[in-house]
Chains A and B, each alone.
Chain A
Amino acid sequence: MQLNTRQLSLIAGGLFPLTKLILLPSTLAHYTGRDLYLPALFLFLLEGGVLLSVLLLSSKTDKTFFELLSDTFGRVTARIVFGMFGVYFLFSALLPVYEQTLLLRSAFYDTIPSPLFFAVFYIVCIYFCLKPLRTFGRCADLLVPISSVALLLLFALSVSNADFSALFPLFQTPAKDVAFTTLRSMPRFLDCAFPLFFLGHFKYEKGTTWKVMLSFLVGALFVLLFLGTFYAVYGVIAPGKASAISKIGRYFPGVDLIGRIDLLLIYLMSGSYFLYLMLPFWLSVQCLKTCFQTKDEYDVFYAVGINLFVFILYFFLHYTIVHFEKFVSVYFFPVFFLFSYLIPVLAWTLRRKHA
C-alpha cells in the first residue's frame, strides 16, 4: 500500500486548505463582504461530504477506481473516463499554478519578474510525476507539520491587528449573492476528487474515516478562521488584497524591530504549496497512462508533455489569467461539480465486489 492513514490525514487537513488562502479571501470579500466565510463554509460542507463518501467506499472495497469502473462498465468505458479525468486534472491545475506564482511574486519580489521565474517548478514537477504515490505521502509527512506550524505562527502575527467587530453585523449579504459566490468559488474546492484516485492505494484501517475527517475538519475550520481574520485586518479594503497571506503578518509590531519574519514563515509554507500543486499533475499523468494503457517507461512523455502544456498555456495567458479565471469560474462550474463532486459520490453505484 502506498499511503497510510496518517499521510492521508495530513494531505486532507494540511494540504487541501492551503490553496484556499491565496486569492480566495479577496475574491470572497469582493462578492460577499463581511459574510465571506459563508460560501467557503458551504463548499467545505460539500467537500467534506464527498470525502466522507469516498472514505466510506474505501472501507467497503479495496479495488481501485479503475477496477470499479471496469467491473461495472467495461475497460473501454473506464479508459475513456480516465482520459477525461486526465484532461480535467490538467486544466484544474492552471488556477492553483497562477495563484502560487502570484504568491511568490508578491512575497519575494519587489518588481514583476519574467514569467520564466516559475519554470523551475515544472522541472521539479516532471520528476515528481514519475514517482509513485508513496512519495507524496512521505513528503507530506515531512512538509505538512512544518507548514502547519508556520501557518499557525503567521496567524498569531496577524491576530494582534485584527478588529473582529468588522465582521458584524452577520448575514447581511443577500442569499443569491452568497449562492453565486459559492458556485464561482468552486474551482478552488476541487481537492475532493483526489481521494477517489487513492482508492486501492491505501490500506483502510479501523479509524481511518474519523481520523481523516477530523483532520479535514480542523483544516476547514482553520481556513474559516483565517477568512474571518483576513476581513478583520483589512475591513472594507479586503477585496483589493490579493495573496493576503503574504502580507497579513506584516502589521505585527515586532516586525519593525526584528524584520519581516512573516516572509520566513511563507517560505516554510512554500514546500507544502508545491507539493499540493504537483498532485493534479501526477494524477493527470496516471489517468492518461491508464487511459492509453502504456508501459511505465513512457510515463516521462506524459509528465513532460503535461508540464510543458501547462507552462506554455500559462505563459501565454499570463497577463489575461484573471479574465480566464473569471470565465472558467462563471461558465464551467458544472464541469467542476460533475468531476469533483458528483462522480466521486456516484462511485458508490459501481460494482464493488470482485467478479
Chain B
Amino acid sequence: MRKFTGSVLILLFVFLSGFFFVNDFGLIDIQKSAIVLGVGIDRAGENFTITAQLAIPQSSDQGGKTSSVEVSGTGKTVGEALTAINATTGWYPKLTFCNLIVLGESLVKDDAYAGLDYFLRDNGFSDNATLVTCTTSAKEFLSAGTPTHDISTLAIEKVLSREGMLSGVVAPVNLKEFSIGYYGSSRSGYLPLAEKLEQENGASQSDDQLQGGEEKTKFLFDATKTALFYKGKKVGTMSPEQTLTYNVLSSPIRVVAFPVEHKGISYTLGFRHAKPSLSVSMREGKLSFDVSVEVRALMLDSDASNSFENIARSSEASRAIIDSANEQFTEKIVSLIELSRESKCDLFGVADLAQKKFPKRKLGEEYLKEMLYSVKVDVKAL
C-alpha cells in the first residue's frame, strides 16, 4: 500500500508538472504582444480611431532606452478599432499596462462614453487609468515629442500626477471617477484639458539631432485648464485660476499658489490647510447650495522687491492682502458656480448632496439654474 501510494504521488507530481509546463513556461512572445502605454480615441462620423502608443524596448547596443511608436486602427466601435491594430500590425495590444486615455477633440463633442465604455467593460484594463482630453486630435497629441521624456504618455502622466493635484494646478481624474460621475445622478464630470506648448529647439536637442538627425518639434504639456462634461459631452472649460479654486474646495492640497492683486501689485499666496464645506439646505422654499471654506495663507512672493524684514517674515501676509485674497477667492468660487449653472455640469455634486439630505425631493432638470447659493470664505494668515 505504501509503495502504491508513493507511485501514485510521483505520478501525480509528474502530471501536475505537466499542467505547469503547458503554459509554455509562462513566456510572453514579445514579438507578438504590443505593450500599450497610452491610448487615444478620436471620432470621425460613425468611426472611432484608436491610437495606441506602444512601448518598444531597445537592445543594449542601441542604448538600452525604451522608445515608443504610435499605431492606429479604425472601426465602428473601439473594440473593432483595436482589432484593426492587431490585423494591420500583427501585434496584439495588451492594455494591462495602459494608464492613460486621451480623448480627442472630436470625441468629446458628443457623448465621450461611446468610446470609453469599452475600457470599463474590459476586465484586464485598469480603471485607475488617467483620463485627459485635448484641443487637437488624440493621435496628434500622442505623437508629440516632449523634452521631459522620450515617451509622450509618460510625460503627460507626470503632468497629471498626484503632486500636481496636491499643488492644485491640475485636476486629474481616472476612469472610475469619471464613470461614477457619468452614471450618477448628476451625469456630470470633468477632465483635465491638455494643450501642447511648443518649445523652441535649442539645448533640449539631443546629440543625434544636432548631428543632422530629424528635428522633431518638442512640446510641453499644459493641463491647468479643465473641461466640464454633462452627459458625456464637453460643455465648458475652467480657466487655470478656476481649476486652482476648484482643487482647494474639493481635493486634498499641500500648498496651492493663489495669485492676488492688491493696489496694483501682484502677490502669490500659498493656501494651506483648507477646510472646505459643501452642503445643501432649503431657503425660501428653494434648494440652496452653501459653500464655506477656511484657508490658511502664507506669503510666497510678490512682483515688487521687498525689504529684508518683509522677506524674513515671509509667512505673514498683511491684513490688507488677506482681505483682498478673501474677496478674490470669493469671486473665483462664484465664477465657478456660475460656470456650473451655465454649462449644466454639476461640478460640486449638488444633486448627490440633495439626494442624501432630502431623499424624497425630486430635482428638476434645471435644478442648477433654479438653486440659490451662498459663499463664505475665511482666508487667514498662517
Interface residues of A, Cβ cutoff 8 Å to B: 106, 110-111, 116-117, 119-120, 123, 127, 165, 168-169, 172, 234-237, 240, 247, 250-251, 253, 255-256
Contact status B359-A240, CB under 8 Å: no
Write out the residue numbers on chain A whose beta carbons fall within 8 Å of the beta carbon of B355: 169
With A120-B19, A169-B355 known to touch, is A240 a contact of B120 (CB < 8 Å)? yes
Q: What are 21 A-to-B residue pairs whose CB atoms are below 8 Å?
A: A110-B94, A110-B96, A110-B124, A111-B124, A117-B23, A120-B16, A120-B19, A123-B12, A123-B16, A234-B180, A235-B184, A236-B183, A237-B120, A237-B176, A237-B179, A237-B180, A237-B183, A247-B127, A250-B128, A253-B162, A256-B162
Q: How far is the CA of A123 from the CA of B94 in the complex (A)?
A: 32
Interface residues of B, Cβ cutoff 8 Å to A: 12, 15-16, 19, 22-23, 94, 96, 120-121, 123-124, 126-128, 162, 174, 176, 179-180, 183-184, 352, 355-356, 359
Write out the residue numbers on chain A whose beta carbons fall within 8 Å of the beta carbon of B128: 250-251, 255
Contact status B359-A169, CB under 8 Å: yes
Contact status A172-B359, CB under 8 Å: yes
Report the minimum CB–CB distance from A315 to chain B (whole Å).
15
Contact status A169-B356, CB under 8 Å: yes
Known contacts A127-B12, A236-B180; 18 further A-B pairs (Cβ under 8 A): A110-B96, A110-B124, A111-B124, A119-B19, A120-B16, A123-B15, A165-B356, A169-B359, A235-B184, A236-B184, A237-B120, A237-B179, A237-B183, A240-B120, A240-B121, A251-B174, A251-B176, A255-B128
Question: In the complex, which residue of chain B has the Cβ closest to the Cβ of A297?
Answer: B1
Most chain-B CB neighbours within 10 Å: which of A116, A120, A255? A120
Chain A at the B interface: SS class: helix
Most chain-B CB neighbours within 10 Å: which of A106, A116, A235? A235
Q: Top 3 closest A-B pairs, CB basis?
A: A169-B359, A235-B180, A110-B96
Question: In the complex, which residue of chain B has the Cβ closest to the Cβ of A170?
Answer: B359
Q: How far is the CA of A234 from the CA of B123 in the complex (A)?
A: 15
Write out the residue numbers on chain B whose beta carbons fall within 8 Å of the beta carbon of A251: 128, 174, 176
Report the minimum CB–CB distance from A263 to chain B (whole Å).
12
Write out the residue numbers on chain B whose beta carbons fall within 8 Å of the beta carbon of A110: 94, 96, 124
Write out the residue numbers on chain B whose beta carbons fall within 8 Å of the beta carbon of A253: 162
Write out the residue numbers on chain B whose beta carbons fall within 8 Å of the beta carbon of A119: 19
Q: How far is the CA of A117 from the CA of B16 in the complex (A)?
A: 11
Q: How far is the CA of A119 from the CA of B126 in the complex (A)?
A: 28
Write out the residue numbers on chain A whose beta carbons fall within 8 Å of the beta carbon of B184: 235-236
Write out the residue numbers on chain A whose beta carbons fall within 8 Å of the beta carbon of B22: 116
Contact status B176-A234, CB under 8 Å: yes
Q: How far is the CA of A310 from the CA of B126 in the complex (A)?
A: 32
Q: How far is the CA of A235 from the CA of B186 in the complex (A)?
A: 13
Contact status B356-A168, CB under 8 Å: yes
Q: How far is the CA of A253 from the CA of B166 in the complex (A)?
A: 13
Q: How far is the CA of A235 from the CA of B182 in the complex (A)?
A: 11
Write out the residue numbers on chain A whose beta carbons fall within 8 Å of the beta carbon of B16: 120, 123
Write out the residue numbers on chain B whose beta carbons fall within 8 Å of the beta carbon of A127: 12
Q: How far is the CA of A250 from the CA of B127 in the complex (A)?
A: 9
Report the minimum CB–CB distance from A306 to chain B (whole Å).
17
Contact status B123-A106, CB under 8 Å: yes
Question: In the complex, which residue of chain A has the Cβ closest to the Cβ of B121?
Answer: A240
Q: How far is the CA of A111 from the CA of B19 in the complex (A)?
A: 18
Q: How far is the CA of A300 from the CA of B282 in the complex (A)?
A: 72
Q: How far is the CA of A226 from the CA of B366 in the complex (A)?
A: 37
Q: How far is the CA of A111 from the CA of B122 in the complex (A)?
A: 10
Write out the residue numbers on chain A whose beta carbons fall within 8 Å of the beta carbon of B127: 247
Write out the residue numbers on chain B whose beta carbons fall within 8 Å of the beta carbon of A106: 123
Report the minimum CB–CB distance from B30 to chain A (whole Å).
14
Report the minimum CB–CB distance from B301 to chain A (whole Å).
30
Write out the residue numbers on chain A whose beta carbons fall within 8 Å of the beta carbon of B96: 110
Write out the residue numbers on chain A whose beta carbons fall within 8 Å of the beta carbon of B94: 110
Q: How far is the CA of A255 from the CA of B16 in the complex (A)?
A: 33
Q: How far is the CA of A155 from the CA of B128 in the complex (A)?
A: 17
Write out the residue numbers on chain A whose beta carbons fall within 8 Å of the beta carbon of B120: 237, 240
Report the minimum CB–CB distance from A314 to chain B (whole Å).
16
Q: How far is the CA of A168 from the CA of B355 in the complex (A)?
A: 8
Write out the residue numbers on chain B whose beta carbons fall within 8 Å of the beta carbon of A123: 12, 15-16
Q: How far is the CA of A255 from the CA of B94 in the complex (A)?
A: 20
Report the minimum CB–CB distance from B36 to chain A (whole Å).
11
Q: How far is the CA of A93 from the CA of B228 in the complex (A)?
A: 49
Q: How far is the CA of A165 from the CA of B180 in the complex (A)?
A: 14
